[in-house]
Amino acid sequence: MIVPGKITVVGAGHVGSHCAMALAFAGVVSEVVLTDIDGVKAQAQAWDVADALSFPPSSCRVRAGTIEDCFDAEIVVIAVGEARRPGQTRLDMLDNSLHMLQGLLHQLRAHPVAGLVITITNPADIVADFVRRGLGLPRHRVFGTGTLLDTARLVRLLSEQTGVARADIQAWVLGEHGDSSMVAFSQVRIGGRGFEAWEDLDPRALVVQTRRTGMDIVEGKASTEFGIGQALAVLCGAIVNDERRVFPLSVALEGEYGVTGFHAGVPCLVGKSGIQSVIEVPLTPDERAQFQASCEVLQTYVHRAHAFGSLPGGSHG
């Protein structure tokens, strides 16, 4: 039984708490529950967010809960994990993330999760794949935020460099949420014009800046939190309200883009049931090669995660 309007965030650190804050302030749902292995911290974060909702007044209820609050939530957000350190790639975080997740998956398998599961733990694509397999759920119900934040960063850069409002820019970052991500420049539209119409834009520099932004933030303040919180809130709002919007998300590919068997960031149509379809945008031969190269990186690490899951105490499924 799903409780409509309830989102449970697992992990009450920087990312999880800011996701809860963004969800509550956006009025996406009527109840946001924070749960963490450190129950005292989850309670403190819930109180802090709830206090903020008095300015301006909000009817959203924010509270601390337990793992049982995952079983009937409309959406479960998995935000467990350590903060990324300066110089550390997202892929470097894999082993620690899997160790943290195996205990959580053991708890979640004890009772069927009724709603959708969205993962934001890094490395995003491998974790999404690991959790989906571990829970034994179909791809439309378990997926990651993937390249949604990368795309937001690209749109910001394009807006800053062209002077065109972000709302009038369409762009996609595809593949890994990480250093092998690629930009489908053939699909970029800035104020209705194709990328090639903007002669002052440097595509190579844009790719480097888009990939680098996360680390620049980590080196400057030790964590990223606000961007992913807002990205998650917008995504959850589209799901809860069945808006049928298209977002680049980390979903299990089943032949789309020539890839089968693991997660990668691609445009997806999203609604009440989660991933309603994968959108295959036309890519140039060079872009397709870049996407395949990114997927090869992901596949290597997915195989590592599979091996981890086969170890005693690991996640099976």
As a whole number, the mean pLDDT across the chain is: 93
pLDDT at 211: 96
Q: 156 and 208: one domain?
A: yes
Closest by CA to 179, choosing from 215, 153, 221, is: 215
The pTM (predicted TM-score) of the whole model is 0.94
pLDDT of 95 reads 84
316 assigned to some structural domain: no
Six-digit token string for 135: 């829970």
Do residues 265 and 153 share a domain? yes
State the catalytic residues.
Answer: 177
Question: For residue 43, what pLDDT is reported?
Answer: 98
pLDDT of residue 233: 97
- Based on the fold, state whether residues 130 and 165 are members of the same structural domain: no
**Number of structural domains, the chain?**
2
- CATH code, domain carrying 106: 3.40.50.720
Q: Which residues of the chain have pLDDT under 70?
A: 309-317
Is position 13 within any domain? Answer: yes
pLDDT digits (tens, 9 = 90+) for 58-102: 899 999 999 999 999 999 999 997 777 787 777 788 888 898 899
Residues 264-281 have pLDDT tens digits of 999 999 999 999 999 999
Whether 313 is covered by a domain: the verdict is no
CB 169 within 8 A of CB 190: yes
Of 128, 144, 160, the residue that ends a domain is 144
What pLDDT sits at residue 53? 95
Q: What is the DSSP string of 73-131?
A: EEEEEE--SPPPPTT--SGGGHHHHHHHHHHHHHHHTTS---SEEEE-PSSHHHHHHHH
Range of the domain at 228: 148-306
Are residues 118 and 31 part of one domain?
A: yes
Last residue of a domain, one of 144, 176, 209: 144
Instruction: List the beta bridge partners of residue 270.
Output: 245, 275
**Cα-based angle 157, 158, 164 (whole degrees, multiple of 5):** 125
- 86: in domain: yes
pLDDT of residue 1: 84
Q: What is the pLDDT of residue 57?
A: 84
Whichever domain contains 272, its CATH number is 3.90.110.10
Are 123 and 153 within one domain? no
Cβ-contact 253, 259 below 8 angstroms: yes
Dist. CA 51–CA 36, nearest whole Å: 19
